[in-house]
Structure 1
Amino acid sequence: MRMVLPLLLLSLGACATAPKPGGRPGGEPTPRTTGGPKETAPRDGTEVGMASFYARSLEGRKTASGERYDGAAATCAHRTHRFGTWLRVTRLENGKAVSCRVNDRGPFSKGRVIDLSRSLAHELGFVSKGVTKVRVEPR
């Protein structure tokens, strides 16, 4: 009888399942309710927020991927997308859109979702403004 109870408890514990990561059934992340409104929609990868562009002084410097920054190239910095991922960036003010390849990490300024090369900022028409509101979608 002494051995039966511990064996029974052990077998019952083995049948129990631990909660999946993320705190919700199916492993879905628990929704954030603090910190104010977020401007991102992570489910499909689309984000809305502010875009900026690289300064001329960064021309030729190495990016996080090891490539040299080229202001004439269609490249960008994003915090989470993998290097080599192509993104479509649409300026919400005028509807102009460009495609760019992620080759750097950033931006590191609060509220910004992407840093674009200078040529892309020209195409979108916000060089004189410095920043603009955009939608970023994986391609």
Structure 2
Amino acid sequence: MARKIAFLILFSILLTACGGSKKASYSSYDKKAVATYYADKFNGKKTASGEKFSNSKYTAAHKKLPFGTKLKVTNTANGKSVVVTVNDRGPFTKGYDIDLSKKAFMEIANKNDGKITVSLEIAK
């Protein structure tokens, strides 16, 4: 009986551990987008979605994608990627496709980059 209980406990621990290992899947959206990041002066300001902006979160502004869209943003120069949530509209500067929070941008950019070429993939 004790062996059965021990087995059941071990089995449930293994099931719980395996349940969290699901990887998100992504579909290509834009293979050659230009990304930049928000200036610090926008911290605390309201975004188009109504959320308060923070440069220390993983968020982004995009002109068309719905708020709440999860995007995998990959720097095409070094292969580093980050997942962000669209919560604002923009960028409104010609030639730019996405604004990232400073935290997200710095995680995938090389030192001293002000803009980078990225690929965008939407989480399914």
Q: Same fold (TM over 0.5)?
A: yes
Partner residue of 2:88 out of 104, 124, 136: 104
Amino acid of the residue matched to residue 109 of structure 2?
A: G
Structure 1 residues 69-88: aligned runs within 5 Å: 69-88=53-72
Structure 1 residues 33-52: aligned runs within 5 Å: 45-52=29-36
> CA contact under 8 A between 2:109 and 2:116: conserved in structure 1?
no
Distance 1:133 1:123 in 2: 14
Aligned CA distance change for structure 1 residues 126 and 115 (closer, same or farther; 3 Å): farther
- Give the structure 2 partner of residue 63 of structure 1: 47
1:23-60 C-alpha deviation (Å, 9 max, x unpaired) = xxxxxxxxxxxxxxxxxxxxx53341210000001100
Flag the structure with higher strand content: 2
Flag the structure with higher helix content: 2
* Cα RMSD for the two superposed structures: 1.3
Amino acid of the residue matched to residue 137 of structure 1?
A: E
**Which structure would you say has the larger Rg?**
1
| TM-score, normalisation: structure 2 | 0.73
Distance 2:52 2:113 in 1: 25
State the number of aligned residues. 96
The structure whose RCO (Cα within 8 Å, separation 6+) is larger is: 2
Amino acid of the residue matched to residue 76 of structure 1?
A: A
Q: Which runs of 5+ in 1 are unaligned?
A: 1-43
Q: Which runs of 5+ in 2 are unaligned?
A: 1-27
Among the aligned pairs, what percent are the same residue?
42
